[in-house]
Structure 1
Amino acid sequence: MTGHTRTVTVHFDDLDAMGIVHNARYALMLERAITAFWAERGHSITASGPTSTDVINAVREFSITYHRPIRGTGDVNLRFWLEKLGETSAVVGFEFTSPDGDELYADGRRVNVKLDPRTLRPAAWSEEARGIAAGLLRTPEKISH
C-alpha cells in the first residue's frame, strides 16, 4: 500500500454547533498525523529544539474538498502520501475516510517548503528525509476514489 494510514480520533471540541467536524479541524488533524509520522522516525521538535533541520518547514498551500460531513465523535482514517518530492518542497495528498474506508469524507493536498533555520529561505531536504519520504511516494495506479 502506498502512503501511510493513521487512525485519528474526533473529539467533542472538534465539532461545530451542528455536531459535525468543523472545517478548520481537518487541517489540524492532518498536521498532527504528519507530525507523529515524522516524530516516530526521529524528526521532531523537542524541548531542546529540532532533532533535524527537515522539521523546519512551512505550509505554502492547503486545499481540501469536503464530500460528506463527519458526524459526532469517534475514529476516522486519515491516509496521506507524497504526490511529489522536489528539491525544497513536498506535495502531500490526503483523504479522510470512514474506518472501513467505504465513505470518503474529504480529500485534498498540502504543499510544504523546507526552510533554512537561519535565513528562512527554501533549503534542500536531507538525504535521510528523502529516504523516509520515498516510502510515502505514490504510484498513480494505486490511488483511486
Structure 2
Amino acid sequence: MTTTLTETYGDVVRLPVHFDDLDAMGMLHNSRYAVLVERAIVIWWQQRGVSFAGGRPTSPDAFNAVREYTITFHQPVRGTGEIAVRFWIDRMGTTSVEYGFAVTSEDGATVYADGRRVNVRLDPQTLRPAPWTDQGRETAAALLKS
C-alpha cells in the first residue's frame, strides 16, 4: 500500500539523506527521521531570524525544547538522495506548540513517515515554560493548519 500526502498547508524543507544516515540494510535509520524533522524546523525558523548565533539565541523564541515526539513509519527510505519534510502547526498554546509532520519523497507523492512533535518555549534562567513572544506567534501563524 502506498501512502500519499495531499495537504498543502504548512511548509516543506528538502534535505539530503547521506550514506551515514543509512542502517546496515541500506535504509534510513529510524533515529535519523527525528534529526531530519529537527533540521527542517530549525532551517525554517532560522530563515525568519529565530536561531542561535555565537551560542546565544537571536530571539527568546529560539530557546525551546522538545517535550513529546511520536512517529509512525509507513515504508522505508531506501538509499541516499533528497527527501522532503512537510510540517505545520496544529495548535499553538501559551508556552507550547504542536507540530504535525510528514517525511516524504521529494515530490511529496510517497509518505515514508508522519507524526507529531510538541515544543515548549523555556525561560533561559529557570528552564521553566515561558510564553511565546508576540513576534514568535506572528511568525508561527504562517504554519498554522487552517
TM-score, with length taken from structure 2:
0.93
Alignment of 1:6 with 2:13, yes or no, is yes
Separation in 1 of the partners of 2:107 and 2:38? 22
Report the alpha carbon displacement of residue 92 of structure 1 after superposing the two structures with TM: 0.4
Where structure 2 has 5 or more consecutive residues not aligned to the other structure, the ranges are 1-7
Change (3 A) 1:48 1:21: closer
- More displaced, 2-11 or 47-56? 47-56
Count of aligned pairs? 139
After superposition, where does 1:77-116 map in structure 2 within 5 Å?
Answer: 77-116=84-123
Change (3 A) 1:57 1:48: closer
Where structure 1 has 5 or more consecutive residues not aligned to the other structure, the ranges are 140-145
Separation in 2 of the partners of 1:80 and 1:91? 10
Alignment of 1:135 with 2:142, yes or no, is yes
Give the aligned partner of residue 70 of structure 1.
77
TM-score, with length taken from structure 1:
0.93
Q: Deviations over 1:57-116 (max 9, x none)?
A: 110000000000000000011100001000000000000111222211000000000000
Percentage of pairs with the same residue: 55
4+ residue runs over 2 A deviation? none
For the residue of structure 2 that corresponds to 1:122, the secondary structure is coil
